[in-house]
Amino acid sequence: MKPVVYTGTSICHSDAKKILDADYRPPVKRHDVRRLMKSPPEIIGIIDGVFFDSAAVAHREIIEALKSGVTVVGGASMGALRASELEPYGMIGVGKIYEMYKNGNLESDDEVAVTFDGETLEPLSVPLVNVRMTVELGREMGIFSKEQASAIVDITRKIFYPERNYRSIIHECVKNGVIGDSEKEKLLEFFKVHEVDVKRQDAALVLGKIKELL
């Protein structure tokens, strides 16, 4: 039986299939893993999951899968969060976001949450963690001062997660005096060209890890 992988927003199914031959399903929600246990695969990959608009996958159902002998690998989004919490039970965590949760550098679900199209699974907002990493790159490149970088992340955090996009972030930054009005188009271009999509990077690592385990 092929591995079952829950994803679609961090990496689309067509791109994921180029890395790993698997049974790809939409972002995981409450009871999905439990239902899967009626005919369990050897490996489950959890990348994406629902957060606030529906019941998230429960810790207990993942623990039940682990106890039944199923290997569960997580990273990038909901998978990173659950792996950091369930590592003592045997869940395997992969990637930078997982490490950041594990080390306490990230704590909130809000860091990785996005809203997405229910049919195409395309993300409709930008995750805070991507903004965080992109702004850090901008600081290293000399685009932002340390103070500006910190302020941009703080402002992004205050924007409700479905409404986070680079235009709204820049608008709030101008409004709060973090950047000048004359800089906004230049910064929008920077975000478009240099966005660090750490969720996608980590999703690819999860798929690579499952391939390695197979």
CATH at residue 62? 3.40.50
Provide the strand spans (E) within the chain.
Answer: 4-6, 23-25, 43-46, 71-75, 92-94
Tell me how many domains the chain contains. Answer: 2
Residues 96 and 167 in one domain: no
pTM tops 0.75, yes or no: yes
Question: Is residue 120 a part of any domain in this protein?
Answer: no
Question: Is residue 162 a part of any domain in this protein?
Answer: yes
Tens-digit pLDDT profile for residues 150-209: 999 999 999 999 999 999 999 999 999 998 888 888 889 999 999 999 999 999 999 999
Phi/psi at 71 (5° precision):
-85, 130
Domain interval for residue 184: 128-194
CA distance linking residue 56 with residue 5, whole number of Å: 16
* Positive or negative: CA dihedral 190, 109, 92, 41: negative
